Amino acid sequence: MVAISIEAAVANVVPSWFMNNHRLRLIKPGDEATSAAELSEPRFWARLDLPGVDLAIDVQTLTPQVSSVPRLFLLVALVFLAGMFAALVALRRDFSKRQRIEAQLQAQVALRKAMENAVTVGLRAWDLEGRILYVNHAFCHLVGFDAHELLGRSAPLPYWPTAQTDELNTVHRDLIAQGTKDAGVEVQFQHKNGRLVDVLIHEAPLLDTHNTQLGWMSSVIDISERKRNQAMAAKQQERLEASGRLVAMGEVASTLAHELNQPLGALSGFANGLLNRLRGGRIAIEDIAPVVERMDALSDKAGRIIQRVNAFARRLEMSRQRVELGQFVRETVANARMGSNVKLHIKPQGHTMWVEADPLLLEHAISNVVRNASDWAQRGAFAPRISIAFVLEREADTPRVGIVIGDNGPGVPEQEMGDIFNAFHTNKPEGMGMGLAICRSVMEAHHGSVDVAADPALGGAQFTLWLPLLSPTSGRATAAAQP
Ligand SMILES: Nc1ncnc2c1ncn2[C@@H]1O[C@H](COP(=O)(O)OP(=O)(O)OP(=O)(O)O)[C@@H](O)[C@H]1O
Ligand SMILES: [Mg+2]
């Protein structure tokens, strides 16, 4: 028989951690809770079913003593937590704002990059020591070097043609010292593949935000194509001028032939006549002199023609004189070779008409038109007639006088009126087509003109030779240089 202490047995059985917040008590029937505190605690009560013992076990749960310190801590922690939460929200907001700005910046950078790549003008930046800071895509394309081959480089630059290094060094120094003027600077670069490229450079100061100059920003344009076109145009112009000179030479030769035809023809007529009469012994010695004098005058005229045509063709000088047109035309017509059957009427003009002209040239112009009128009047259906009249335009801005020469020939067809003044345009089998071309050049050299119409009275052609009119009192006989 063993005696067991119930209290010790219970204490052994119940784990210590349980005892931390419970209190066990063995109670006998009749034991009641004593204090009010005990009664307020949650408790559990169980009867120990042991023989001979009437015991119960009372388990009381102990409410831990809550101190105010942890609560304070909790409160502070909560406040911190709230603060942290608020900070997190603010951080998140800031973060998304940054993300937005970063996206915008990236878009802008991408746009700038795209723009920079799309630009066809070569861009180059360099510092004040002449070291390359930046080159764009177009510049690299222009010279055939990659950006990394150029950045940081200074003179002599790899795209300088070796033969021009000295010249480019001077240009380079000037560019760094003072940039470029409005027109820019034209130089040659050499592409990596050896091809020479003509470029036009403009420099602008490269400034920082405080307006301090960091260096220069150059825009470089490839002008090779333009240069090529210019060279081609110059070559074409040269060829054109050469062929123009040939045409002019042809015109001079034709003009000479045309104008010399008449005196030479007459000269040969006189010489033949004289020879025939000498051979036939039908001429007295005193009759020879006047014929030879006429021949001398004709050869003299031929010489003067050559001189004048030569001077006129080279646009050197004209012997301008004050000429009274009425008298001058009458004399010219009297000397012109016209058919003997042609009836000529010169309408008298009541007053004098002064012009400034080279008499020999003006005589050529008038006699060409009169000879044409005579030729064509003789080809018409009626007895050949020519009329000469004057028309005055005193009130015009530049007062002028026209010599109007009409005939009763077939006239000039409307569609030909624009062409008959061109050199070598002729409808005469024996003609050269130079008469009217010479006439127009002479009139233009006198600041005048010539035009053609149908003659309203005679029905044939009507040519009007216009000259600026001098006031009756102004000017004297002059010999002015022709530009
Ligand atoms: N009075 C006129 N009536 C009709 N046609 C004319 C008259 N004058 C000129 N023409 C036309 O103008 C053309 C050119 O005249 P132009 O005097 O330049 O040369 P051309 O008389 O033919 O030859 P040339 O060089 O020997 O004078 C003539 O061939 C003719 O067709
Ligand atoms: Mg003619």
* Mean pLDDT of successive 10-residue stretches along the chain, which has 483 residues: 75 83 77 57 74 79 70 90 93 94 92 82 90 92 93 91 89 84 87 92 89 90 90 83 60 75 88 91 87 91 79 67 94 84 90 90 90 93 94 89 96 93 87 86 89 95 96 50 34
Which of 338, 427, 452 maximizes ligand 1 atoms within 8 Å of its Cβ, making it the mutation to test the pocket?
Answer: 427
Q: For 178-224, what is the HEC assignment?
A: HCCCCCCEEEEEECCCCCEEEEEEEEEEEECCCCCEEEEEEEEEECH
Place of tokens 């210019």: 230
Euclidean distance between CA atoms 218 and 224, whole angstroms: 18
Residue 401, classed as helix, strand or coil, is strand
Q: Report yes or no: 326 and 390 within 8 Å, Cβ to Cβ.
A: yes
Q: Give 110: exposed, middle or buried? Use CB within 10 Å, 0-12, 13-18, 19+.
A: exposed
Using a 6 Å cutoff on CB, does residue 364 contact ligand 1? Answer: no
Using a 6 Å cutoff on CB, does residue 461 contact ligand 1? Answer: yes
Supply 154's token pair. Answer: 């200074």
Counts of helices then strands in the chain (DSSP H, E) = 12, 15
Using a 6 Å cutoff on CB, does residue 378 contact ligand 1? Answer: no
Residue 459, classed as helix, strand or coil, is coil
Give residue 434 CA to ligand 2 midpoint distance, Å.
7
Place of tokens 């004289």: 274
Supply 303's token pair. Answer: 């010489």
Using a 6 Å cutoff on CB, does residue 432 contact ligand 1? Answer: yes
CA distance to 237, 268, 323, per residue, from 387 (Å): 46, 31, 21
Output the residue whose Cα is nearest ligand 1's atom 6: 412
pTM here?
0.48
Give the helix, strand, coil percentages of the chain, each rounded to 5: 45, 20, 30
Supply 481's token pair. Answer: 């240089």
Output the residue whose Cα is nearest ligand 1's atom 13: 426
Place of tokens 């030769």: 253
Question: Which DSSP letter does residue 469 get?
Answer: P
Euclidean distance between CA atoms 365 and 259, whole angstroms: 10
Using a 6 Å cutoff on CB, does residue 407 contact ligand 1? Answer: yes
Which of 424, 428, 434, 443 maximizes ligand 1 atoms within 8 Å of its Cβ, making it the mutation to test the pocket?
Answer: 428
Give residue 312 CA to ligand 1 midpoint distance, Å.
22
Q: Report yes or no: 59 and 46 within 8 Å, Cβ to Cβ.
A: yes
Residue 429, classed as helix, strand or coil, is coil
Q: Rounded to 5 degrees, what are φ and ψ at 316?
A: -80, -60
Give residue 106 CA to ligand 1 midpoint distance, Å.
82
Ligand 1 atom, smallest distance to 433 CA: 19
Sequence letter at residue 328 = F
Using a 6 Å cutoff on CB, does residue 431 contact ligand 1? Answer: yes
Ligand 1 atom, smallest distance to 434 CA: 25
Give residue 367 CA to ligand 2 midpoint distance, Å.
9
Using a 6 Å cutoff on CB, does residue 384 contact ligand 1? Answer: no
Output the residue whose Cα is nearest ligand 1's atom 26: 431
Q: Report yes or no: 328 and 362 within 8 Å, Cβ to Cβ.
A: yes
Output the residue whose Cα is nearest ligand 1's atom 30: 427
Using a 6 Å cutoff on CB, does residue 385 contact ligand 1? Answer: no
- Enumerate the H helices of 280-392 as residue ranges: 285-313, 325-335, 359-378
What is the CB neighbour count within 10 angstroms for residue 375? 19
Supply 70's token pair. Answer: 């942890």
Compute the half-sphere exposure of residue 221: CA atoms within 13 Å on the CB side of its CA.
11
Using a 6 Å cutoff on CB, does residue 191 contact ligand 1? Answer: no
Q: Report yes or no: 467 and 324 within 8 Å, Cβ to Cβ.
A: no
Helix (H) or strand (E) holding 388: strand 385-393
